[in-house]
Structures are given as structure tokens and as C-alpha cells.
Amino acid sequence: MPKRSEEMLTDVWTSLLLVWITCVPYTSMTPIISQSKSLQTGSTALLRGLVEGQRILSRAKRGWVWNQMFVLEEFSGPDPILVGRLHTDLDVGSTPIKYVLAGEGAGTIFAINEITGDIHAMKRLDREEKAEYTLTAQVTNRDTDQPLEPPSEFIIKVQDINDNPPQFVEGPYRASVPEMSQVGTSVTRVTATDADDPVYGNSAKLVYSILEGQPYFSIDPNTAIIKIALHGMDREMREEYLVVIQAKDMGGHMGGLSGTTTVTVTLTDVNDNPPKFSKSLYEFVIPEELGIGKPGGKVKANDRDIGENAKSTYNIIDGDEKDVFEITTDAQTQEGILRLKKPLNFETKKSYTLKVEAANIRFDPNSGVPFKDTATVKIAVEDSDEPPVFSKPTFVLQVDENAPINTVIGTVTARDPDVTGSLVRYFIDRHTDLERQFNINVDDGKITLAKPLDRETDMWHNITVTATEIRNHSQISRAIVAIRVLDINDNAPEFATEYEAFLCENGKPGQVIQTVSAVDKDDPIQGHYFEYRLLPEMLNNPNFTIKNNGDNSISVLAKHDTFRRQKQEMYFLPIIVTDNGNPPMSSTNTLTIRVCGCSREGIVQSCNVEAYVLPIGLSMGALIAILACIILLLVIVVLFVTLRRHKNKPLIIKDDEDVRENIIRYDDEGGGEEDTEAFDIATLQNPDGINGYLPRKDIKPDLQFMPRQSGGPNGVDNNCTTEWPSSQISTHHPDNQR
């Protein structure tokens, strides 16, 4: 590496020297083209021509001479490296000039000799960090610092060396390719990057190769596309491969840098394997009592493929009585489950042989490979102890409702279907015959009557009969027995309801008073027919008669129009109703007929005798009006009496007319005319004052005088006189009321 760097440095300096020798005469002869351009330099033109095209700089009244400068990256030494030299045609030796450098890195990365114009790099540079620097050069008077020329720009480029290895930024990689792919099938593409300059030299020219992964895969050295290199790569043999890829710069030559990455290649599955049964013959033993739809066995065809390519479907393609069994596929386990479609019977058929096929759901029909397999399934039916079987699931029996006790109603039968055959016992489930109206013979299944029946109470009786094997009591079967109770004529007909008829006093002879119908609890097959008649002693009834309507009803008619409530208010008409049963049944029903007062239109108004004494011609509205007048008069009288009482009360006593009376109480009889101590005459003569006191007007009159007590026996005056206002006088002695 140091040797190569020295060779490159020698080549650069040689090129610079040749350019300088070639371009100096050309510079002195070139005319001034424009003031806005810099000095033209032969070295710059040559180097730019090599890299990015020729560029000539020129400016009036001055002549700059320098190269577009280059500096090697990563150069390090004891002294600063000379990058280049600036020179102007004003520098003739007589004028004191000074070179000034400004711009990117001036004074830090790059330094200029003010006298000679030499530019040196003070630090080691990295092209990958910064590839070029733009600087400004200017010449000034050394003594006065006055600029002698306008400033001009130039570029210092960092020349690349191969100091960065290739890198796989996106690695490690994962890729997949279908198994059994053809040689040359593309798997994936990898990409490496190199930070070196791709324009200068071969530092960034990469070449790819496989370090690990032969002979299965190959890679294009330029495009880095990985391809299949081996025919017949089978996923079932090996599913995953690890490939190591190398990228080397310098075009793959000696001394180049390299980087590596890994690619994990997975072979995806294709349907290249048919399903295969693990054995060619399957044998199962299935009990004959196995329920419909229940699994009886499982078969399995293995497939080396995975996912959808390994899924199979099963079918019964041959065998005896294929409709007895069916086979379905378990989506989770990919097993074929054998299920029962019809009941098995060991006594009828003891074994079955079936041919089962397993076929892939997904396969290429053009491949010519039969992606299926077959196997034989033998099924042996196992004899089971089955419960007794009734001759029919439901029995319908009939019995008359007047049948005597122990009458045989009917017989139920059941048998043991097993080969050995066991005797059967019969029982009635008493939960269905709570009243124990029936019995059954345990040996022959005859059902007899235990209690009398009434069709009008229960027309049907549903009981459950069980049949049990003698040798195995757990084997039980059940059958429903429906017993219908047949009707006999044991109920007499009667009125459909309690009829009450109303007869108008002013009715016409022959008018229909009431229509009567009857009902019968019995239900004869030919239907009901009722016959109505009056009692024999009522055949010549002078008041009423009956007429048959022809629809099992009659009409009751009045014979005259002389019915009066005051004469007879109510009539009772007995009627005999007879049915057409065998023997016929009859009953006597009484029709109540009330005589009522009716309007001219025949509307019943009153059926009471008391209403008859009211004046003829008064309607109900007139009666209500009379009653309202009476109530109004009573209210007026009460109000008048109340007002009179209020007028008799005394008026308010004026202050100047204070009227008083003496209330005299005696504990014994009075003394007659000689008793002068009974009252004070002076008080009566002087009503304005008592004992010299005048009444106070600011106190209520009834509170001005209090009872006066004087000494007597026990401190109480027997002849006590109390004066009160006359409005509050109370008398307790009969003599004081006079």
C-alpha cells in the first residue's frame, strides 16, 4: 500500500511538471478576454481536460498562473504537503506583493506562503468526508495592504485512494425459490456500496463472488443476481441453504478491499408428492348400537408436502352397501373419519368391506402424476345386547265408558332383537297413570281396566308401557298407548242456559215469548236430536204452547192477550227434553215467564206489581220530573226556616242600654213576700253602677262583673247573687222560668 501511494504521488508530480512547461509560454501569448475571469493557467487546463473538461481563465491587467489543485487523501508525513503554487504576472521582483488566501479551510486546513504563493495542506484529508474545497486568492501590496487585483476563486480537490471496503447495507438477506426450479432461475439480488470515488480509478469497481453455497447457487459477478445452479433441489430433502456472498473492489484484482454478507435461501413447497396411506388395509370393529353420525374409525394418508399442497380429501369409491357409511376429512389432522349413515344390525349383516381413496385438493392435472392413493377398510359389526323392540311405536286402543272393571282393553307386544332372545316383561309407567286406572299383565302385555271411566271427564288416556329383558333389566324400551273412551248415552239433555222469559200485558195471541235450545254432554256418532214436550198434565195449558223449530230448538207461544200483572205476575212452564240415544235419556226443565208492562212498540218497561198502581199514562220522564219538583220544594222550605231562625237572634246591645237581670239561686225554698233579701231593689233602680262603680267600656261586658262571695257557713254565702249580661242568663230553678 505505501509503495502504491508513492507511485501515485510520483505520477501526479510528473503530470504537474509537464503541464507547467507546456502552459507557461501559452499563458504569456494569450490575449485578455474578459475582466470577470481569472488568469489562465496551462496546468489547470490540462488537469481539467483530464477530469471534467478544459477550462481557461483570463483577466485583464493581470495574469494568474496556477493549477486546479489536487491533494491526496489520507496523506500524512512530518511536513505539510505542498498542494500547489499561486503566481501573478505582477510578481516581477520590483513590486512588493503579498498573496492572501480565503475560503473553505483557509488558515486551518490550507496555508499560503505570502511571498512565494505556495499552498500547503496542514491536516490529513478524507475525500469521503469532503471531496473538494472552494478557496479565494488575492494579491495585495505588502507595504500598504492595498489590493492589486480583484479576488479569484479556485478549487482544491481531494484525490481518492482505495481506503473504504465494500459494504452490504441491506444484509443479511432472506430469499425463497420454489423447489425443483430449473437451473438459472433467479433467486434474489444483493447490492454492495463503496464509499470510494467511482470515477477515479477502480477503487469503487466491485466484483461479486460466492464463498459458500456451491454447487447449489451461483452469482453474476457484475449484477450480483443469485441463481439456481443445481437441478432437482427437493424441499423434502433440504429446505434451507446459507449462501455467503463477497464483494471486492479494484475490479477484483489483487490488493482490493472486500466485504461479505449472507443470504438465507428457503425452498418453497410445490405439490410434487401424492398422499400415501400408511397401510393398505384398515380393520375396525364397530358396535351395532353406534349412533347415526358417530365416528367408527379413522384413516390417514400422509403427504410430504406442506400447507395447501398437503391437504387431501377422502371418498368411498367401492365396497358393499356404500350408503351405510360415509367418510369426512378432519381439517386439523387431515384424517379421514368413517361415520355411520344408517343403523347397523348384527343379526342382518355382520361385516362390511370398503375401498377408500385419498386425493390432493390442489394438483396440476397436466403433470400426469396421480396425486391420490387407495386403501381397503374392513368393518366387523359387534353384536350388542339391544333393548326389546315393540311391534309398533304407538298403540291406539278403545274402551266403552261403561265397561266393567278388569275388562281387557288391548294388548301390546315387544321382542328381544338379539340372537339369543330374552323373555320380555311389561310394566305401566305410573307417572303417566297417576290415578291407576289401568293394569297390564307383565307376561303377555294385556291392558285391563282398573277403575270406571267417564268420557265426559276424560276422552283420551295416554299411558307409557315399558318392556324389559328378563336377563338384563337395564335394557328397557318404551311405547305410548293411547286409549280412547267411547261414548254411551248416559247423560240426559238439558236447557242450554237458565232461561227467563218476559211477556207483555198488551201482547198479541200467538206471539213468541222465548226460543229454547238444549245441550247434551254425550257425543253420539249420528249427532244430537232433541224432542221437546209439555208435561202430560200441561198439555191443555190455557196460557202457553210450544212449537218445534226443526233445529233442535222450540219456540214458546202465548195463547191469549189477557195477561195482567195484578192478577198473576209469574208463570212456570215445565218442558221435557228427550235425546235420541239408546236408551233415550230425558230431563224436565222449567221455563220462568214474567208478565211485564211494555210500551206500544213492545219494549219491556216494568215487571213489578207495585208499578201498576201508578196513574196510567205517566211515563218514566214524568215521574222523574215530579220527583225533582218535590225535592226542590223541600230545599226551599229548609232555606226559609233557616233564615227565620237567624232573624230571631237579638241585636247587638248598645253601650248606653245595658240591660241586666238578677239571677237568684236558692238552696231552699223561697220565703214568699216576706223574703226581702232575695234581690236588691237599688240595683234595679240604678242600672248604671253597682256599689258605686260604673261599667268600663274598654272591657267586654261579660267580664266586668265577677261572682261576689260573702262569709257564711264554710265561707260561702248561701244567698249568692251573680250579675251577668242578659244575653248569658242561665236558669236552674223551675220557679225562675216564670
Residue 575 clears pLDDT 70, i.e. is over it? yes
Once rounded to an integer, what is the mean pLDDT over residues 189-212? 88
Q: Let me know: does 593 contact 572? Beta carbons within 8 Å.
A: yes
Identify the pLDDT of residue 18: 45
Once rounded to an integer, what is the mean pLDDT over residues 582-586? 85
Residue 655 clears pLDDT 70, i.e. is over it? no
* Highest mean pLDDT (candidates 224-238, 351-365, 568-582, 687-701): 224-238
Identify the pLDDT of residue 648: 61
Computed from CA positions of residues 415, 417, 422, 426, in that sequence, does the dihedral angle turn out positive or negative? negative
Tell me which amino acid residue 427 is. Answer: F
Query: CB neighbours of 437 closer than 8 A, spacing ≥ 6?
Result: 449, 450, 451, 453, 461
Residue 577 CB neighbours (<10 A): 24
Element (H, E) at 15: helix 2-29
**Is CATH 2.40.30.10 correct for 276-382?**
no
- In CATH terms, the fold of domain 494-606 is Immunoglobulin-like (2.60.40)
Q: Let me know: does 512 contact 555? Beta carbons within 8 Å.
A: yes
3-state per-residue secondary structure call for 69-92: EEEECCCCCCCCEEEEECEECCCC
Identify the pLDDT of residue 538: 77
Q: Let me know: does 336 contact 356? Beta carbons within 8 Å.
A: yes
Cα 262 to Cα 244, 259, 471, 563: the distances in Å are 5, 11, 79, 130
pLDDT in tens, 333-371: 889 999 998 888 887 888 999 999 999 887 766 555 678
Q: Let me know: does 695 contact 658? Beta carbons within 8 Å.
A: yes
Residue 656 clears pLDDT 80, i.e. is over it? no
**Cα 643 vs. chain centroid, distance in angstroms?**
81
What are the φ/ψ torsions at residue 425 (nearest 5 degrees)? -115, 145
pLDDT in tens, 662-680: 444 445 444 444 444 444 5
Tell me which amino acid residue 62 is. Answer: R
> 380 - beta bridge partners?
285, 351
Q: Are strands 721-725 and 660-664 parallel, antiparallel or unpaired?
A: antiparallel
Q: Let me know: does 438 contact 445? Beta carbons within 8 Å.
A: no
Q: Which residue has the higher pLDDT, 77 or 396?
A: 396
Residue 449 CB neighbours (<10 A): 19
Going by the DSSP 8-state scheme, the letter that residue 19 receives in this structure is H
Q: Let me know: does 596 contact 605? Beta carbons within 8 Å.
A: yes
Once rounded to an integer, what is the mean pLDDT over residues 402-411? 92
Residue 310 clears pLDDT 90, i.e. is over it? no
Residue 327 clears pLDDT 50, i.e. is over it? yes
Residue with cell 398437503: 310
Q: Which residue has the higher pLDDT, 149 or 438?
A: 438
Q: Which residue has the higher pLDDT, 639 or 605?
A: 639
pLDDT in tens, 494-516: 888 888 888 888 778 888 888 99
Once rounded to an integer, what is the mean pLDDT over residues 209-228? 94
Tell me which amino acid residue 489 is. Answer: N
CATH number of the structural domain 389-486:
2.60.40.60
Element (H, E) at 135: strand 132-141
Look over the chain and give the mean of its residue pLDDT values, rounded to a whole number: 77
Report the CATH architecture of 167-268.
Sandwich (2.60)
Q: Let me know: does 566 contact 609? Beta carbons within 8 Å.
A: yes
Q: How far apart are the first and last CA of the chain?
A: 168
- Contacts by 652-659 with C-beta closer than 8 Å and gap 24+? 653/701, 653/725, 653/726, 653/727, 655/697, 658/687, 658/688, 658/695, 658/701, 658/725, 659/687, 659/725, 659/726
Residue 483 clears pLDDT 90, i.e. is over it? yes
* All cell numbers assigned to 733: 230553678
What does pTM read for this prediction? Answer: 0.44
Q: Taking phi first (over 0 means left), then psi (-120 to 50 degrees means alpha), and beta for anything else, what does residue 106 get?
A: beta
pLDDT in tens, 109-142: 888 888 888 888 888 888 878 888 888 888 888 8
Q: Let me know: does 168 contact 258? Beta carbons within 8 Å.
A: no
Identify the pLDDT of residue 299: 94
Spatial distance between the Cα atoms of 347 and 340, rounded to a whole number of angstroms = 17
Parse the chain into domains and list their residue ranges.
68-159, 167-268, 276-382, 389-486, 494-606
- In CATH terms, the fold of domain 68-159 is Immunoglobulin-like (2.60.40)
Instruction: Pick the closest to residue 504 from 606, 596, 610, 605 (CA basis).
Output: 596
Identify the pLDDT of residue 503: 86
Identify the pLDDT of residue 421: 74
Q: Let me know: does 690 contact 723? Beta carbons within 8 Å.
A: yes
